[in-house]
Chain A
Amino acid sequence: MATVTFDGTTRYYAGNPVPAVDGLDLEVADGEFLVLVGPSGCGKSTTLRMLAGLEGIDDGAIRIGDRDVTNLPPKDRDIAMVFQNYALYPHMTVADNIGFHLKIAKMPKAERLERVREAAELLDLTPYLDRKPAKLSGGQRQRVAMGRAIVRRPQVFCMDEPLSNLDAKLRVQTRTQIASLQRRLGVTTIYVTHDQVEAMTMGDRVAVLKDGLLQQCDTPIGLFGKPANLFVAGFIGSPAMNLIPATVEGDSARVGGRPVQLTRDQVSALTSPSVVVGVRPEGWRILSPAEGIEATVEVVEELGSDQYLYCSSPVEQIGADANQFTVRAPGMSPWQRGDKLGLAPETGAVHLFDAETGARLPD
């Protein structure tokens, strides 16, 4: 059990002047489940691979507990890793796969078999110990990969998108299993994923990366409730937050002809009169067209428990779907394509960002 500290950790790849991970400062507490999330190419896998010792560290340091592991080879770091494609040894049985590290560490056979048996029991793999990985289903392979990590009783688990090769239903099931297993074992875990649902449901804290830079590291609630900047606001939450640019006059911004009030602190924190108003789909009140921002329903997505309305509007938005408002309505609502409605943000549901810097304005 140990903490993990990234201290200005930087990684360049050959032929690219922009670092893949740029001066990452991150402190992971003992026994914490930290999720690294971000779009592809953001440096989350590189971060994990640096911790595992599979990538060099060009600048800065990584510490596990009090040990500086920056220049240690993987085997001396006391970590275990679960790979995206599991990387099971195809010619070895499940038992040999799980026990390979212990065998290399020259653990006596009886003790080794006992440890393997324990790990297999924990993961319901006991009936498969004599099989080769090729004879296992995807979910079982994934559990073998987990077993290979658990059996070592390492200080840190590194997991690189371990669920992305499973089908949707199994993924949800395994997600819970991994999270509860980690809590039970209490091993510090760094988990990489591009799936924000995984990030939000599994992590004690979630670190959002973009272009090699750490954007925000907070609890899932903190991340969702108070995104630190425009990127995090747009990235976390599904469907994404509606982000509407507006101009501040006096102490209010006008969105679709409706005023949005700013506090004095917020006004003084602005670097220019441009502001971005963010409202999550569930943050809208649906009114009659005359009472709010005018919008026309284009697509109704019925999920049973909820309904998402994708509406067009004359009001501009930033992002790929300009002019499209996403609104959550109660499930089975009577909305239909072509219906006109008026939107107004609920009190407290407004997020304000500086349009120039992208930073969140003080609440």
Chain B
Amino acid sequence: MSSTVESKPAVAVRPVRTPPRKPKPAPGSRGFSPLRLLGMIFVWLFTAVNVLVLYWLVSASFKTPIEIFSKPFALPLQWFERGDPFRNFAYAWNNAGFGHAFVVTVVLVAVSSVVIVLVSAPAAYALSRLGVRGSNGLTNFVAIGMGIPFQTVVIPLFIGMGKLGLTNNLFGMFLIYVALSIPFTVFLLTGFFKSLPDELEEAAAIDGASPFRTFFAIMLPLTRGGLITALILNAIGLWNETLLAIVFLNENANFTLARALFSFYGAASYQSEYGGLIAGVAIVVLPMLVLYVLLARRIITGLTLGAGK
């Protein structure tokens, strides 16, 4: 067919082109649709409300009670004028016992989260990959644990822990946190282990690795994303956990941040120290918010990675 092709110079010269500012989207993907508009409105409304609440929380934590009630959405002024902008935070920190509670919470949350993952990862591996008879049923049984609201078991749990002498006890709290978080974590991690190809295990078996070694040297490093996701989600959940802490802890020395905040709420609202109270809330909430913002990408990829493919 060479005769029909036009003769060209030996070296093709690429003509000068200006690339578009933005590559054109696929046809039909950018058209207007009422559903799309509705979705956009909803998403932006949702975002706006949340940003507003966050703004209100942060700004109010710098305000005097008068400012909070008279100008709820204005920028804080009075404490700045008096040259003591962090007065509310100082008040909350000193009066609520946050210093001690902070240490207790960090240790409790860190130890619990790590132990949860340490227990759940081998369990999830065994359930999803060892092909043990009845492992599907067992996985479902574990998953049912997610469906039981823990509020419904608080009273029997309290009675049981009381008989063991583990109420008002941080070790008891740790046990409860670990036990209640295992179903979700196991379920999350089974998704990860299932997504790994079988051939890796087979290759490891041919290479001579024991099942134990296969798990620790091959499978566990590959689910690192999932493990980190599980760790972060548990840490955030436990950090914010209030109800169980209120039920099980009743001594200042054992208070977690959320529990201390609850006591502080009573005292501060009695003294009309609303600025201090909100600063207390901010102290509890902001560290997790910062953690989440820093790790959001990781968490989201982790969650979807386990689900798809």
Chain A residues within CB distance 8 Å of chain B: 52-54, 73-75, 79-81, 83-85, 87-91, 100-101, 104-105, 148
Instruction: Check B205–A74 contact: CB distance below 8 A.
Output: yes
Instruction: Check B199–A83 contact: CB distance below 8 A.
Output: yes
Instruction: Check B199–A87 contact: CB distance below 8 A.
Output: yes
A/B pair count, beta carbons within 8 Å: 55
We find that the number of chain B residues with CB closer than 8 angstroms to chain A is 16
State in angstroms the CA–CA spacing of A75 and B199 once bound together.
15
Q: Does B197 contact A (CB under 8 A)?
A: yes
Q: Does B129 contact A (CB under 8 A)?
A: no
Q: Which among B206, B218, B224 has the greatest number of chain A C-beta atoms within 10 A?
A: B206
Return the chain A residue nearest B218 by Cβ.
A89
Q: Does B160 contact A (CB under 8 A)?
A: no
By secondary structure, the B interface counts as helix
Instruction: Check B208–A87 contact: CB distance below 8 A.
Output: no
Point out the residues of chain B lying under 8 angstroms from A87, CB to CB: 197, 199-200, 202-203
Return the contact of A101 from the options B197, B207, B222 (Cβ within 8 A): B207
Instruction: Check A104–B206 contact: CB distance below 8 A.
Output: no
Q: Min CB distance, B220 to chain A, in Å?
A: 10
Q: Min CB distance, B212 to chain A, in Å?
A: 12
Chain B residues within CB distance 8 Å of chain A: 197, 199-200, 202-209, 213, 218, 221-222, 224
Say whether, besides A89-B218, A90-B222, A75 and B200 are in contact (CB < 8 Å). no
Instruction: Check B206–A74 contact: CB distance below 8 A.
Output: yes
Q: Min CB distance, A286 to chain B, in Å?
A: 25
State in angstroms the CA–CA spacing of A81 and B201 once bound together.
13
Instruction: Check A85–B197 contact: CB distance below 8 A.
Output: yes
Return the chain A residue nearest B224 by Cβ.
A91
Point out the residues of chain B lying under 8 angstroms from A105, CB to CB: 208
Instruction: Check A104–B205 contact: CB distance below 8 A.
Output: no
Q: Min CB distance, A97 to chain B, in Å?
A: 9
Say whether, besides A85-B199, A87-B197, A79 and B208 are in contact (CB < 8 Å). no
Q: List 15 A-B contacts (CB under 8 A).
A: A52-B202, A52-B206, A75-B208, A75-B209, A83-B199, A83-B202, A87-B199, A87-B202, A89-B200, A100-B204, A100-B209, A101-B206, A101-B207, A104-B208, A104-B213
